[in-house]
A and B are shown apart, each in its own frame.
Chain A
Amino acid sequence: MLRRFERLKSWEGVLLVVLIGIVIFNSSMTPHYLQIQNQVNLFQLNIEKIIIVLIMAFIIINAEIDLSVASVMALAGCVMAYLFEKGLPFGLCLFAGLLTGVLTGAFNGFMVSYVRLTSLVVTLSGLIGYRGLAHVLLENRSVGNFPEWFDRLGQQPLVGPFPLALIIFFVLLIIALIILQWSGAGRYVFVIGNNSEVARYSGVNVRRVKMILFIVSGLVSAFAGLLLAARLGSMRGDTAIGTELEVITMVLLGGVSIFGGTGSLYGVLLSILIILNLRNGMGLLNVPGENQTGVIGALLILSVLGPNIGRGVREAWNRRHVQHIRVGEEEKGG
């Protein structure tokens, strides 16, 4: 009982309360909110974003960052569209799109783990460079008319009311949960994020872990780019511009420390749900676009301040509590 209470004081507890608050508010404010179609739309309108959030959580916990995700999305989609326009078989175009992601990810990873450049700088160049390439490929045009099955997969429900991308998200979520929260590999990610020197001396292959993370990030972003192409039915060079910031917002709001080492996918999942439900609610209530951006911005500030304030309060509480109960058990609180 006491432990549950402890846990609720954590950041996840705060997020859960906020989420429940938003759900109750939305359902009482608009009758459309709880419709199944709206609940599906709520995910579907942001599905590519939240798929990338999963891998971004790994990267930030690992004390790195990948700012190039949205540009990789666009580049992969544009490579696919460009080759498709040139008349290549569609399967090959999709493969080339995914390969684009692997290559950009490998480049980012190589620069970070072997050349030892800061990921902030490397992926910032990626953000600009990959976006530039995407614009070079498609210029100012939009390329579409993909095979019908492709558009249908992106736009129509596949099982019941659920479209393919939504199902993929939940599958990836479970895989990510297993890897990060319960596997040895996940522990490496945390250990490196806490202190990569210590990790290296304890025999963890830091470079390989980072390399793999960036490659997967590129691949997942490229995959998300293809999903987006299917959902929108066409591709442009400026597609998904600015998405990286929303992705990072969701990860940070989920309680992942920007300095790495701490955070959990439970918190990230809650923050995804919070932002999606908040956006959806504001959309249904016709809140103007600028105010929506303002609210999300305020959330991000909260997310950076919140866990710190939370920790401070918790520590103060613990100190008082410990004094009240017993002095000998301090180590357990660690």
Chain B
Amino acid sequence: MFKKLMILAVVFTLVLSACAPAATATEAPAQPTELAAPSGEVVKATPGNALNMVFLPKFLGNAVFDQAHEGALEAAAELQNPTELQFLAPASGGAGADQIPIITNATTQGVDAIMLSNNAGDQVAPAAQAARDAGITFVTWDSPIPSAEGEQVFVAQVDFAETGTVMADMARNILGEDGGKFAVLSAGPDSANQNAWIAAMQEVLQDPAYSNLELLEIVYGNDETEKSTQEALALVDKYPDMELIMAPTTVGIAAAAKAMQDEGLCDKVKVSGLGLPAEMVSFVKNGCSPEFALWSFYDLGYLTYYLSYLIASGDLEAVDGAQFEAGRMGEYTITKDPTRPDVDGPLRVLMGPFSQYNADNIDAAVNP
């Protein structure tokens, strides 16, 4: 009897789903109301379009993604989009592929735009392509889809080669005229971004102008505070004449600076690299980390929202050479992405440049 009941229930569910309309076409996605502007013209946004947009970072509970979200919210308010921005992401600690159900559900909901910081490599590509096939605007930021499949444009934070120059310059500033020895505390040995930046910096160091800077060793803290602290302290023990730790990761730089501060080593060993102003403010003030750099995630979110809004509104076409105005950040151009040369036709918008922080501007950065 119970089995019959169950079967009945299953049949009931199936019938229900069969009876449901195949697609509720009531919510018309914003169709292009006017033709995209001819090339050469800088496209400006028309405020007030009701667009359902999803902001999808790698995971929840990370300060930089929260900042990007705030930037996107600023743009949303400026553009007077009456539809609330959806901020969705997997819980931290999950698998990268956890982003896929969110993309698929957003596609089912028929949203107008998805803004993704990709954490699953090419595995999101089928889901992203399905979203594109459903007419959804798909923009990536912070981290692109390597194959560019399903992705219209990637909003890149900075030019990766520039990162090398910025780090080498900061090392020279901190170590002074007579130079000195320093080590790198990176994320993981397989972290693609960090490896590219370090390689770029090593290239810059070849220049005679940097000949008195000596890179001792590259160690890895795996972007874990504990491990990064241990590695930083191990460096101090190993190289008594080391004067600087350069950490191109927000976790590593904060952990190293705290370790030097707690051990009372800040007079001897300085810390620099890529860090978050809010996490670094006390280390800048007590001299442990006189100078560091980062792009603004706040601005990255803002720019990404503007671009996605323009494309989803039908005002801007995602093609090479298209120009647009992103509110207070000014004009940008969509170009081919030179960082993915072996892929067919990826496009990017380069935000740039770096923001460099020191005792003079750190307060303004933390309390804008």
Taking Cβ atoms with an 8 Å cutoff, the residues of A that contact B are 3-4, 7-8, 10, 12-13, 16, 19-20, 23, 27, 30-32, 34-39, 41, 45, 139-140, 142, 144, 151, 154-155, 231-234, 236, 238-242, 266, 270, 279-280, 283-284, 286, 288-290, 292-293
Contacts and interface: CB of A to CB of B under 8 A. Distances in A.
Contact of A284 (B1, B2, B108): B108
Nearest to B89: A289
B364 interface: no
Interface string B240-261: 0000000000000000000000
B6 A16 contact: yes
B94 A242 contact: yes
A266 B4 CA distance: 12
Given A36-B17, A283-B101, A20 B121 contact: no
Contacts of B17: 34-36, 39
Contacts of B122: 142, 144, 232-234
Given A4-B5, A7-B1, A34-B17, A233 B126 contact: yes
Question: Chain A's interface: helix, strand, loop or mixed, by majority?
Answer: helix
B28 interface: no
Contacts of A232: 97, 100, 120, 122-123, 126
A3 B1 contact: yes
Nearest to B3: A266
A12 to B, nearest CB: 7
A169 B18 CA distance: 20
A23 B123 contact: no
Interface string B17-32: 1111111100000000
Contact of B18 (A20, A36, A231, A242): A36
B109 interface: yes
A4 B2 contact: yes
Given A4-B2, A142-B122, A280 B91 contact: no
Nearest to A294: B91
Contacts of B101: 45, 279, 283
A238 B96 contact: yes
Contacts, number: 126
B121 A142 contact: yes
Given A35-B20, A41-B108, A289 B1 contact: no
A32 B22 CA distance: 9
B318 interface: no
Contact of A290 (B61, B120, B147): B61
Contact of B9 (A3, A16, A144, A236): A16
Contacts of B9: 16, 19-20
B59 interface: yes
A35 B190 contact: no
B104 interface: yes
B16 A236 contact: no
A144 B18 CA distance: 35
Given A7-B2, A283-B102, A240 B24 contact: no
Nearest to B134: A37
Contact of B123 (A19, A30, A239): A239
A126 to B, nearest CB: 18
Contacts of B20: 34-36
Given A4-B2, A8-B2, A144-B147, 10 more contacts: A4-B1, A12-B2, A13-B2, A35-B108, A37-B108, A45-B104, A239-B95, A286-B86, A289-B94, A290-B92
Nearest to A284: B105
Return the 4 tightest CB-CB contacts between A and B, nearest first: A140-B190, A34-B20, A283-B105, A289-B91
A290 B91 contact: yes
